[in-house]
Chains A and B, each alone.
Chain A
Amino acid sequence: RKEVEQDPGPFNVPEGATVAFNCTYSNSASQSFFWYRQDCRKEPKLLMSVYSSGNEDGRFTAQLNRASQYISLLIRDSKLSDSATYLCVVTWDHYGNNRLAFGKGNQVVVIP
């Protein structure tokens, strides 16, 4: 079983609509959680960290459910520029080192 599972999509979203997706992780000892954004043929870039209490950054809201081991991302009022792949990232202690595991990514396509 993969450490981080994501439904790759694509998620076709009308401009202005809200889209939500999540990922599940297998390691209950996971400590830190992030969403990264990756544009086509570009490197991943940190979008936001995910905290247990949930957090918001403008139109983006991230939630963490430790009991069910899933993380969600919600994008409100989608813009064309939001089209990208959103990578779920989970870290845990691996013999004293922070190990990062990436999901396959959720591909979002915002349609005019």
Chain B
Amino acid sequence: GAGVSQSPRYKVAKRGQDVALRCDPISGHVSLFWYQQALGQGPEFLTYFQNEAQLDKSGLPSDRFFAERPEGSVSTLKIQRTQQEDSAVYLCASSPIRSGERNQPQHFGDGTRLSIL
């Protein structure tokens, strides 16, 4: 389909390893968001891109988290030196309009379920 695609679907890593999670938004969508969802919690905002510009990264929990979207399409969320508390589902969402415009729905990908051993 033409929805938001995330890969891998599942990722298991040992504590201390680096991981990279990929998001392929809906074609032409300007806005891209990353969220972290822990078990039993709602999604928590991590960062936001408008095209290739990272306009808000205030939700990233530490400097081990890094996100990029170099060509304004595919985005990668990288987590360095993973810790057990990083275990969560990482959701990517995209939207066709610029953030700041009201009532914008977001289209979510299936998420990457990350487990740190």
Contact = CB atoms under 8 A, between A and B. Distances in A.
Interface stretch (A12-20, A56-64, A71-79, A96-104): A96-104
B91 A97 contact: no
Contact of A97 (B100, B102, B109, B110): B100
Interface residues of B, number: 27
A99 B56 contact: yes
Contacts of B106: 46, 100
- The prevalent SS among residues of A at the interface is strand
Q: Which of B40, B44, B55, B99 is packed against the most chain A CB atoms within 10 Å?
A: B99
Contacts of A32: 102-104
Given A97-B55, A97-B56, A98-B101, A43 B108 contact: yes
Contact of A98 (B40, B43, B100): B100
Contacts of A49: 103, 105
B53 to A, nearest CB: 11
Contact of B105 (A34, A93, A97): A34
B40 A8 contact: yes
Interface residues of A, number: 27
B8 to A, nearest CB: 15
Interface of A: 4, 6, 8, 31-32, 34, 42-46, 49, 87, 91, 93-105
Interface of B: 33, 35, 40-45, 48, 50, 55-56, 58, 91, 99-111
13 contacts: A32-B102, A45-B108, A46-B106, A46-B107, A94-B58, A97-B48, A98-B99, A98-B101, A99-B45, A99-B56, A100-B33, A102-B43, A103-B42
